[in-house]
Amino acid sequence: MLNCISRFLFMANYKPKIGIKQWAEEDRPREKLMQYGRRHLTDAELIAVLIGSGNLEETSVDLSKRILAAYDNDLDKLGRATVKELSRFRGIGVAKAISIVAGLELGRRRKEEGVTPKVVQIKDAKDSYAQFYPVLTDLPHEEFWILLLNRANHVISKHQISKGGLSGTVADPKIIFKVAMDHDATYLILAHNHPSGNLKPSQEDLILTRKLTAAGKLLDLIVLDHLIITNNSYLSFNDEGLI
């Protein structure tokens, strides 16, 4: 008798998962994209297309909503998630995590390519930031880059000098000036990121900037600026009177 009552209560509270195949065709992410175009899909629906399926309790859309919620519904934060972190979600194995990371990385690279036209003239720190932003945001570690300019302040190229840990990276002056001279640069702009989001320059940042500025003058290479970059903002040493 007790078994019958327990079974009855279980069935009364049981709510079977409604799979995406049972949804109206216009509500299914892939069909919705085909019928209405990609701009009509929500962020969760686009991620659902990437992962393909959900788990026993959730559709791919519900699972995608849960993943987004874990990153404050912020694609910028999700874009910094690792395969290992995403694999912790129930229903997201390594393959699906890789699909998410790869999809967001393609978006980042598209943004990077779209920022740099053929000929760019640097007029101020905002122009410099536009050059560094695509390569120095969404990183879990510090990197040091330089932007090389000719006499007309046109961009020659940009180069990664070093890659470090969470709280620092080493920038070798010999490497910096060799790269600059190899490309016949007249001016250079330094930049590194702070993954912590803190824009305040450290004592090491200040010392390195002074050291590179002084060394550059001896080589007839002028250091115009040094930028500290976070995901949403930047600090210009030149604008702040620190160079």
- Number of other CB atoms surrounding residue 43 within 10 Å: 14
Stretches in the chain below the pLDDT threshold 70: 1-27, 112-119, 165-168
Distance in angstroms (rounded) separating the CA atoms of residues 51 and 45: 10
Residue 27 per-residue DSSP state = G
| Angle (nearest 5°) at CA 196 between 194 and 200 | 60
Output the pLDDT for position 23. Answer: 54
User: 192-223 pLDDT, tens per residue?
Assistant: 999 999 999 999 999 999 999 999 999 999 99
Q: How many helices (H) and strands (E) does the chain have?
A: 10, 5
Output the pLDDT for position 92. Answer: 95
| Residue 134 in tokens | 């695509």
Give the CA distances from residue 53 to residues 29, 35, 45, 126, 237, in Å, rounded to whole numbers and listed in that order: 11, 20, 11, 42, 49
Output the pLDDT for position 35. Answer: 86
Residue 195 phi, psi (nearest 5): -60, -25
Q: Which residue has the tokens 């788990």?
A: 55
| Residue 24 in tokens | 């109206």
CATH code of the domain made up of 116-236: 3.40.140.10
**92 neighbors 67 (Cβ within 8 angstroms):** yes
| Residue 229 in tokens | 């970059």
Q: Which part of the chain has CATH 3.40.140.10?
A: 116-236
Positive/negative CA dihedral, 35, 39, 44, 48: positive
Positive/negative CA dihedral, 141, 107, 198, 203: positive
